[in-house]
A = this chain, B = another copy of it.
């Protein structure tokens, strides 16, 4: 049996541009990535950016986190990485990946203790990065 139901996407100009933009590895909303692309001369449409980011999030090629304001932020993740978390700058979006191995176990122990199954967890660390602090932002 074939479990691969989805054909690989076609490599269009738009997809290439989006993939390129993601190389900066910042956390940005779809709208912000779109502006970024247009500022660089791309003519890509907003809906296309949304679609591409969602598709990439589905395949695990980008991380998606929901900010306090309810916007979804996207960032390309390291190839092949499994589960990880981030320390993100609230001012400029720059992020570093962090590892919280202790927590993976902890989450399951807590779940078990309360009888909850299919445990998922989100850890979001935010702060103001050195550059932004120096610039007086945030």
Contacts and interface: CB of A to CB of B under 8 A. Distances in A.
Interface of A: 66-68, 70-72, 87, 89-90, 96, 98, 100, 102-103, 106-107, 110-111, 114-130, 133, 138
Nearest to A130: B115
A116 B128 CA distance: 5
Contact of A87 (B90, B98, B116, B126): B116
B118 A138 contact: yes
A130 B112 CA distance: 10
Nearest to A119: B127
B126 A120 contact: yes
B123 A111 contact: no
A107 B133 contact: no
A122 B120 contact: no
Nearest to A69: B66
12 contacts: A66-B66, A66-B68, A87-B110, A87-B116, A90-B120, A100-B106, A111-B127, A117-B127, A118-B138, A119-B127, A121-B123, A123-B124
